[in-house]
Structure 1
């Protein structure tokens, strides 16, 4: 008999009685239309968090409108009664820890009246209490065998009394109203042919048959869902592999194109720099040559002017006349020199970038003339 309780516990599973919101055993479990259950206070917290509007189920994320709050949600009677029963069993199993009398000995019996486990030394006093009726003391194994069958009693519903007609049991079920009724309710408020009612046990039996069929159909649907999930998982893996392959191809192509474009940019860069450097070098060389010529002319003119000035200030008549021919000839040459000159070159060099390298295939152009005219709106054959 001891295996009955363990089998039922394994079938129920501890997770079946744990709220997924607070991760504790259910406290007044409420069942949502999606058949997922939560503690009433947990539903209230979810409603408060959502501002009193509809809440998504924490498990399946389906949204449920609860305008009247968690109190309007149907209680999960099965879960709540099962929680009460298991909590009772948990309390009763605590006696095996140590003797309830001496707090030391090993438990060998159980006193029904005191609800404690006892060792051999403490058992006899409970059986032979003075001046009172002896307590009901059972051997531990016998009590274990009795207790293990109690959990099955959850399926044996005790008689339920009608709240409208005291003393009457709810023995009938009205299929029209989907509620349990007593005989007086059936005669007064659920009469044929407007209402269809029958014995509760017959309705329960038929509903059990229906649930059995539905459970088989749901099992088949579950099987289909698992197989479909495998197919989806397989396609997902294929998609991930294909994505990895194509991503690698794309990255390889991008790197290759970037390298090619970079090479072309560097090549065009070298050409533009070479062109700019050529213009710069030629102009600088021309300006340098002009600078040399002007320096020579400046020195020659200065030397001739200084010589003439000194000769006039410090020379005598013989010295003046002796240098007349050569001095006059040199001065005439120097006077003919073009000493008032503009720079032979200008400083205009500009790099004008291109807006789209991929379209123009160039970074831009080097402009080195001050005036660049662009003729627009002139007929093709009218241009010169």
Structure 2
């Protein structure tokens, strides 16, 4: 039972939509992020580009049809999402531990293919009983953290991918870690780049830059949440007015028929005339009603679509802010803020309440 809880806790970190590529429907392999915040496997995007614009500088998202401009090496230069790769690795590892309660897992430290009984978190290897003992005898490995498969299966110890601790290297200086944020260029750079290429720019340490970025994103998320609430309120009001229109329409038809019948009773010689007038008015009312219903339904459909798109976009932003590293957050700052800005700029489609009145 505890094992199931462990798997569930891992899967709850991210939805299936984020764990799997929508193109190949397999779990992510080298996930890349488009400007619309949708993620796909590197190879899937490369094949997609060949089918869309083999020699072009843009790529159309297969989910939302939004275009992403490609730079440098094309698809390969799109932002990496190491957080997704790490989560795929963690979930895959947990499933592997649970399959047959881990009986098929072999030792990765020797060539004897003995059944593994534990895992060394420092070596990132499964160990058999003999290799585990060898670890304990070697001075350099005595400090390594070794946990049994039972501990990993039960959830007592949760496997964490080393990708989460990976520090990106500078493209210009491969031996340098990215550890400075240039506010002027809005990018993460290394110390050498800060001296050679950004000396006159506004520079900030990563912790401070991440906090500022998180604050900006949080503010935009709040604005987007308020817009979603506004859309939902407008939809509720539109639904209310539509119901009022239906009621007024029904009552008006009843009143009209009643009046017609009264006139027929009073003046029999004018029956034909009155019935003809009734038919004419009914037809006109039907026309007006249908026009207004069309207006209400169009407004509802547009607002519903906006709510859905807003919700999906917010989920993408929240997931990225939750799972992405500080480096990725800063690299994606403009994309995040741009997407959220688009959400806050749209206004809900409203229908005048006077259209619900009919008599």
What's the TM-score, normalizing by structure 1? 0.46
Asked which structure has the greater RCO (Cα within 8 Å, sep 6+), the reply is: 2
Q: Which structure carries more helix by proportion?
A: 2
Find the structure with the greater CA-based Rg. 1
What's the TM-score, normalizing by structure 2? 0.48
